[in-house]
Structure 1
Amino acid sequence: MHRISRLIATVAHLALLGAVGIPILITILTVGATGIGTLVVVVGFLLVPLALLAMLGVAWFERERVAGLYGVDVPPAVFRRSPRTDWLSLPHRLLRIVTDGQHWRAILSFFLASIFGAFTLPLLSLIGIGIPLAFAGLGDAATVGIPLTSLAVPVAWSPLIGLVAFVGGLAGTIGLAMAHRSVSTGLLVPDDRERLEQQARDERERRHGAVRAADFDRTRIERDLHDGVQPRLVSIAMQLGMARDKIESDPAAAMRLIDEAHASSKSAVTELRQVARGIHVAVLDDRGLDAAVSALAARSVVPVEVDARIEGRCSRDAETAVYFAIAEGITNAQKHARASRIRVAIRTRRSSSGTDSLWARVEDDGIGGAERQSGGGIDGLAHRVAGVGGTLTMTSPAGGPTAIEVDVPCAS
């Protein structure tokens, strides 16, 4: 019974798409072609994005339609962001979206379903013709007119013609429905091999990101120890050595040196604590991301507004990656952006596939112009986020504002 109801639903889908699918695609193509032809004037720059959005809407509709009709797992669309931070970031992102094969496969599925639907409509009409012809012999008329035509056949022939029309229309309709399922699921639902290959690629990217992030953290810790703590400890050792030499001949000078070494040791402890905070944030484990970011904002010399709406806790790796992304964004705004205000937004999001993710955005009102450089702080953060299966994007046009967004799966 379930198969019959799904078959009826498929035929209904095809009939509807056969009536409206091709006109919709023709309209979108017309708008796009008109926009391309009028790019020399302002209207072209409005029509081309409009046609692009309409095509993406068709692709989204087709994915949702096939997933709901057949109960299959159709992967959601991934709108790939651009790594660029200049004025070409938006055109580059649009180009990445347009050249993504998953959208074109969905549009191709919609087009083929519309073609199947265009053939389904006359087949349904054939079924409608066959039923009255099959029972026309019960009447007294010598001839029977074929519905929807001006033709007439002898009443003796009408049952056979009606039966042939009914069976042919029904068989053709069922065949198109079955072909539609095979084609649409083949285009939109990845097979096991493709799914495993994609999982292998994702895992390889995550491993690469984790390795790069670990290397970046190691280099940063080495730099912080070499440039900060190590000279401080050498200075303390020298001061204590000088105090030892002077303790008998000049006790007062020796005491001054000991006091300076004591003060330097306190500074060294503070610097070591800051280095340790860059490795592990205790408050993050104890009180969560909201409290950790609030403490980070309280230490900032630039006013930071924190808007956190987090439902529950995510994994430690996910929260750590988002925390350090926020910390780097605040630090960059303080050092380089000449910002007077920083805003941090944190959200827990639920994707269409039912999985939760942790999203954060750091935006300042500075001068902008930031770039992601190989080996730099943003590059290291991007690898750290990629190592837990997330994404990091940065937009920083000249004149500002600079915005960093991270999106990390909660179950990383």
Structure 2
Amino acid sequence: MTATASETGPAVGDPDVEALESAEQVTRLIAHLDAIAPDLEAEVIGNERAGKLSDRTLELLRETRVPSMLLSKSAGGLGMFPTDALRVLERLCRIDASIGWIGGNWSTTGITLAYFAPETVKELLRKDQPLFGISSAPTGRAVPVEGGYRLTGAWSYGSGDLQADFVICPAIEMGADGKPLTGPGGSPVIRHFTVTHEAVNPKGNWDTLGLRATGSIDFSVEDVFVPESWAVNMSAPPAVADRQVSGGMWVTIPMLHTGFALGATRRLLDELTAFAQRPSSRGTKLADDVVFRAEVARREVAVRSARAFVYETWNDVDALLKAGRPLSRRNVTLVRASMIHIHEVARDLASFVFEKGGGTSLRSGTMQRWVRDTFAGCQHFIVSPIIYPDIAWELMGAPEDLVWGPQGLTSIG
């Protein structure tokens, strides 16, 4: 899970122009999001009914340039560092959970393209800020043929795939004998294969509790040719090691989930605070209840504490990336730990808001939607507390040959 940048940071005493420009982008992007928040919120109900983001929503997101945050300046992006991008995602996710979820996915365009050769990047960027969808489980088979592969398979939970320009499908590479290729230790060789939107057969199956507007469908691909240049290994370090993205995919992905939880917790507290100060039909206000206020205070402290842990962790990550140094296993441990913790806080808060919201949270509306969306976002496997034992193991000194993978510590071999 470590990657070495191809360049070091600026010399001691010299200004880090890229870092300064990245920080300046935060103010500009958040101001833009503040300005268009009413327009985005106007799309929310229609998005949920349609099961995907509207063309207008996608247009507004493109205008913000959130999809280009981590894309290198040489490729026309903003070249931002992860912590700066995280602050923008936190603001976006406060507007709407589904919009924030897709915006988070979309913001990883830069790290996604960092795995491809420069000429392939130019080819994929022919679309204006293309939206990449991706699935995590390698449930496909890729058979080598002249110039590339024939890809076949079916995937679930294709995050944002219904509206994606390109979909990245992890699959097991097959040998000429029709058997899976194996790497060190006998594990199958897994690569990530990029296909166009037209190659995807949507299967629906996104009748979910929350995040209904993300268009995260099940889908299949049937015997589609994928050129060799469109097949990469995203479990390895990026091919283009700009400082901003040199941490790799499995460091950057926690950024978007963390941004979701940061935005959701603040919005839940905002919704609850506003609700508590409105008189009920009996003329009483929930905010007048001293026990309720004490419980709100505890959750406010929990949210702020979890947020502080998040930014402490990511500031350390950024400091290393800016210095052109690789992340340590401990950095990744704390990234994963802070991500899981903020989701635990979010889950508890959503339960509290649902309980205290009474009939308002029971019925369809903004409060109920935020409760549902938060619960849905907390169901993702990457934020499961199941890896807490591995977090503790690493903190206590796990063997050095273990590295972080999607589902916990794993052997390098």
TM-score by length of 1: 0.24
Higher relative contact order (CA 8 A, sep 6+): 2
TM-score (norm 2): 0.24
Higher helix share: 1
